[in-house]
Structure 1
Amino acid sequence: MLKTYHGSCHCGAVTFEADLDLTQTSYRCNCSICRRNRFWPAVAKPENFRLLTGEDDLTLYVFNTKKNHHLFCKHCGVRCFGIGNETPMGTMYGVNLGCLDDVTDEELSRIPITYVDGRDDRWQSAPEFFTHL
């Protein structure tokens, strides 16, 4: 069931709302960017994500195929969300669960996690080792 959550970057310049179902899987990936910044996203459809403040405070980083948009607060460096432009569900927002302001530790501990092997482009498979993600 969708519930509206509020989130922000560390300095508060970027704020957002997202309608998420935290009983659905979230993702941990071993690709070069997710592993380095420990990104832990839940998926939101575009109509279920609203950037409230800080559009001008975001900086965009793209690499490799340039399909995905990695957005960071240019003040504190936190990645609140990213945009996947060519995914099996079409365009989607990956909302960083660590940036949600109104979710409890208990709720976070119950969110299912799917581990994906992005490093080797085996997106439908878990990497051999994943507990460190």
Structure 2
Amino acid sequence: MSALETREGGCHCGAVRFRVALSDGLSTARRCTCSYCRMRGAVAVSSALDGLEITQGEDALSLYRFNTGTASHWFCRHCGIHTHHQRRSNPQQFGINAACLDDVSPFDFAEVVVMDGQAHPSDTGVARIAGVLRFEPSD
């Protein structure tokens, strides 16, 4: 197992700030095809539940759950930016919105694995890659 990489981050308006120890740096970057993730469009990186510390604005976070209620999605109630979620596929992990990390953009990733969330591994017993999202900057 590689060493944890600690990063700082926050929402768009700055009301929410956090520090996170990423499980394997930015190499866990992925997206998902479930109904919520398709609309949200965020690239998520992984952290253990005890790896996330909200350093400012915990009271500004709102929680959204749907369907089975297993996954918990947090967002800033002021600017609406999704900061993190507790995963349904692994409730012992948070998915951290990579775009909320200081000095990280979703466009920094040349390729991002897209997991099949429509046929969720908690329902099927099998985690399946649905595809790869690529970003190719123009000159």
Compare relative contact order (CA 8 Å, sep 6+) and give the higher one, 1 or 2.
1
The CA deviation at 1:65 is 0.3
Residues 32 and 115 of structure 2 are in contact (CA less than 8 Å); yes or no, is this contact kept in structure 1?
yes
**SS of equivalent residue, structure 2 residue 25:** coil
What is residue 116 of structure 2 aligned with on the other side?
Answer: 117
104 and 58 in structure 1: CA distance in 2 versus 1, 3 angstrom threshold: closer
Q: 1:5 touches 1:102 (CA, 8 Å); kept in 2?
A: no
Structure 1 residue runs without a partner (length 5+) = none
Match of 2:30 among 27, 37, 59: 27
Change beyond 3 A, Cα 1:86–1:28: closer
Runs (4 or more) in structure 1 with deviation over 4 Å come to none
**Between 11-20 and 116-125, the greater mean CA deviation after superposition:** 116-125
Find 2:48's aligned residue among 8, 27, 45.
45
The structure that is strand-richer by fraction is 2
Taking the aligned partners of 2:113 and 2:132, their CA distance within structure 1 comes to 10
2:72 aligns with 69
| SS of aligned partner of 1:42 | strand
Amino acid at match of 2:114: Y
Q: Give identity over the alignment, percent.
A: 34
The 5 Å alignment of 1:75-86 reads 75-84=78-87
Measured after TM superposition, the shift of residue 125 of structure 1 is 1.2
Gaps of 5+ in 2: 135-139
- SS of residue paired to 2:87: strand
